[in-house]
Amino acid sequence: MLTNYIKIAWKVLLRHPFYTFITLFGISLTLTVLMVLTSFLDHLFGSHYPETKRDRSLYVMQMRTQDSTRTGSSSGPMSFKFLTEYAKSLKTAERVTICTFVNSSNAYVGSQKIKLNTKYTDADFWEVTEFDFLEGKPYNEQNIANSDLVVVITDDFKKQYFGNVAESVIGKDVEIESIHYRVIGVVRGSPVTRPFTYADVYYPYTTPKSNYQRTGMRGGYVAILLAKKTSDLKTVRDEFQSHIARIPLPGVEDGYKYAYVEVKSEPYVENFVGTLNGNKGLKTVFFGIIAFIMLMLIGLPAINLVNVNVSRIMERASEIGIRKAFGAPVRTLMWQFIIENIFITLIGGGIALVLTLIVIQLINSSGIIAYADLTINLNVFLVSLLVCLVFGLLSGVLPALRMSKLKIAEALKS
Amino acid sequence: MINLTNIEKVYRTSSIETLALNNINLNIRKGEFVSIMGPSGCGKSTLLNIMGLLDEPSKGTVELDGQRVSTYHDKELARLRNEKIGFIFQSFHLINDLSVVDNVEIPLLYRSTNGKPRQTYAKEALEKVGLSNRIKHFPKQLSGGQKQRVAIARAIVGKPEIILADEPTGNLDSAMGNEIMNILQGLNDEGATIIMVTHDETMAKRTHRLIRLFDGTQVQ
């Protein structure tokens, strides 16, 4: 039966090449956009270099304090001291890293200024993440204890600062903001879309200007809590919350009297969405825009395809009449047209897959997003396949319904 | 086998009402070869469609093997058509995108017959109408007579008890028409009940009984 349907679908495609071209062009273009979008979302939220352990990581990004009436609130990253006391002390976590978000600095090569993104981290940063060391090694606890002026740099920065040199730059001097550092390691950089790991230069937190000694709860640091396994995430989160619950309340921070403190440890996606939590309206707008974009991307082409399909199906009234006359129930015929439509959509999906591979290759090599590593992995492929099926189903059901209403005798006359 | 009582069929548009069949009472017995004749527009095809469960009467009852079919839903009607009735149309109604053998297989698709036996039955039916050498051809590659023989193979592949033929020789020359008629007579000899609409007196004379219609009414 399925072979018969597919044979027919194929013949219908060949019957009007121009019609088919327009249909497949529309489907392929729509699905390409959706696949590239899926690939980008996977790039944003999936477990990729150097955050390959995201599936068992919790992100602690900000602290939120509120006054006693809960009318005013203040939020932002935390101090190194605070995270050491409340996060580093976790017993259920395999490891905890504390680092800053991205800071800006400048370096000079002769008179040429290089704008830099820098990050202060502890030694555990290199264990929680999985950077590829192209040269040298990461700094360790000893370097940190000694306040050694050492840095790990990215291959991109190496190229900018030292030129296109093939030899190792380990042990060489780098001057940033008038301070001389010794290069201890060179890594393949992290994409800018991964702010917990992205930087050009990584310093030990005991180097100058890190403000790690700052007292109080607020500062410029965030943390990643690495669980031993994914199933331990809840235990780690619970322990972290029990630590947070120990914060003495009420308190005063920089003159602000707070009565409530909220610090969340969440998986990456929730953490990202959670940044919108403070403003319910903003969250609604965010998801509203996403829903609207998805509707535009799937809905409008689907409606267009419905129109094309309706006219194509009506062209086949005689065939419908024949099938009904020889015993095809309405439901079976509806399935036939839906399957045919899904088949066509899957062909469009195949073309879209090739186009997507080309587009993401272009994005990756264009440098629009530094170190972009968009891919079509199994997740992206499965989501894309699902999108194809939904698209095929959406654009096939209505024409099939129209067809099912045809009277046999009338259909045979056409 | 087929029993029609007080059948009336009215076609309505917003402004016109046309009486296509009026008070038709008819009983077709098992194994009969019946022809229906009458001028164009007298309701022959409408009558055949009603007997074949392709259309509903506006009034009256249709009984098939003693069972009233007016209360049947789409699924039950489809099953009855599939198991009991085979259709042959004047304009063949083959699906041009499918090969000869795929066209013949159509009734078996809706019986959940597996692929292998389906193809065997289809080839047997084509052999019966003398077209076993054309199974991979497409309808466009066949002559009118060959197309009609494919249509007959499709009608008989499911071994239905009733064959309804709407002017099966209407688009063919007399030699080819005779050939088709011979095949139908052979099927009738094997036990099939055949009801045939025709304009051709000589063809009609070869059947057991002739029903004449005029302006939607049975006159003979």
pLDDT tens, residue by residue, B45-98: 999 999 999 999 999 999 998 899 988 988 899 999 999 999 999 889 999 888
Nearest to B96 by CA among B130, B131, B147: B147
Cβ–Cβ < 8 Å for A222, A141: no
Tell me the three-class secondary structure of A92-104, residue by residue: CEEEEEEEECCEE
Closest-CA residue of A relative to B52 is A325
Cβ–Cβ < 8 Å for A260, A249: yes
Minimal Cα–Cα distance from A2 to chain B, Å?
10
* Token representation of residue A244: 């947070």
- Which residues of chain A make contact with B158, given a CB cutoff of 8 A? 326-327
Taking only the tens of pLDDT, chain A with its 414 residues reads 677 778 777 777 777 788 788 888 888 888 888 888 888 888 988 999 999 999 999 999 999 999 888 888 888 999 999 999 999 999 999 999 999 999 999 999 888 899 999 999 999 999 999 999 999 999 999 999 999 999 999 999 999 999 888 899 999 999 999 999 999 999 999 999 999 999 999 999 999 999 999 999 999 999 999 999 999 999 999 999 999 999 999 988 888 889 999 999 999 988 877 665 555 566 677 777 777 877 777 777 777 777 777 777 777 888 889 999 999 888 888 888 888 888 888 888 899 999 999 999 999 998 888 888 888 878 777 877 787 778 777 777 877 787 777 888 888 886
B interface test, pick of A13, A315, A322, A339 with most B CB neighbours within 10 Å: A322
Minimal Cα–Cα distance from B54 to chain A, Å?
6
> CA B73, CA A48: separation in Å to the nearest integer?
56
- Which residues of chain B make contact with A409, given a CB cutoff of 8 A? 46, 49, 54-55
User: How many C-beta atoms surround the C-beta of residue A73 within 10 A?
Assistant: 14
- Which residues of chain A make contact with B95, given a CB cutoff of 8 A? 8, 319, 322
Q: Which helix (H) or strand (E) holds B145?
A: helix B144-156
Q: Which helix (H) or strand (E) holds A119?
A: strand A112-121
> CA A189, CA A48: separation in Å to the nearest integer?
12
Instruction: Give the residue carrying structure tokens 């591979």.
Output: A357
Q: What is the pLDDT of residues B178-216, one digit of tens each?
A: 888 998 999 999 999 999 999 989 999 999 999 999 887
**A276 and chain B in contact, CB less than 8 A:** no
Instruction: Give the residue ranges of DSSP H helices in A110-221.
Output: 125-128, 141-145, 155-162
Instruction: Provide the residue ranges of all domains of chain A, joining segments of one domain with +.
Output: 2-48+282-413, 62-268
Q: Write out the DSSP string of A241-255.
A: HHHHTTS-SSEEETT
Residue A55 DSSP class: G
Minimal Cα–Cα distance from A5 to chain B, Å?
10
ipTM of the complex: 0.92
Cβ–Cβ < 8 Å for A321, B91: no
B interface test, pick of A326, A333, A335 with most B CB neighbours within 10 Å: A326
Domains observed in chain B: 2-95+159-218 (3.40.50.300)
Q: Which amino acid is at A211?
A: N
* Token representation of residue B115: 């692929």
Minimal Cα–Cα distance from A407 to chain B, Å?
8
| Beta-carbon separation of B93 and A328 below 8 A | no
Q: Which helix (H) or strand (E) holds A186?
A: strand A179-187
Residue spans of beta strands (DSSP E) within chain B: 2-12, 17-28, 33-37, 59-64, 67-68, 85-88, 162-166, 193-197, 209-214, 217-218
Q: How far apart are the first and last CA of chain B?
A: 20
Q: What is the pLDDT of residues A125-138, one digit of tens each?
A: 999 999 999 999 99
> CA B200, CA B209: separation in Å to the nearest integer?
14
